[in-house]
Amino acid sequence: MRAPIRLPVRIVLAAGAAEVHLRQRFPRIMWALTPHRPERDQPFAELQRIESDTAYRALFLARLDAAIAERSAEQAAELNAFVDAVEAAAEQLRNLVRPDNGERAA
């Protein structure tokens, strides 16, 4: 049976001190060399929570339905405002083409 390879304590302490020195001296380089978690883990974790937690899924779907209904109401209001603006413009064009006072259009 093999004995585990052990590094002398002094080498480990020297390596730790060198790392601290490098972090203080070159923070940007050391930050770039340090592994970081990808940013996409949070949305994936959210999806996993939606799939696994039924209460959270129900809350999420209720919020989603409310947001969809709110957006549909906003779109309907925008469409109604657009229709009103088009009808007002059409009425102005009708008045220009055939005035109500009996005069002919120029």
Q: Chain centroid to CA 81: how far?
A: 29
**Residues 96/105, Cβ–Cβ less than 8 Å:** yes
Tens digit of pLDDT for each residue in 21-67?
A: 888 888 888 788 888 776 667 778 889 999 999 999 999 999 999 99
Residue 74, pLDDT > 60, answer yes
Question: Which pair of structure tokens corresponds to residue 106?
Answer: 């120029």
pTM over 0.85: no
Angle between helices 41-52 and 54-97 (to 10 degrees): 110
Question: Which pair of structure tokens corresponds to residue 19?
Answer: 């790392």
Mean pLDDT of 80-105: 85
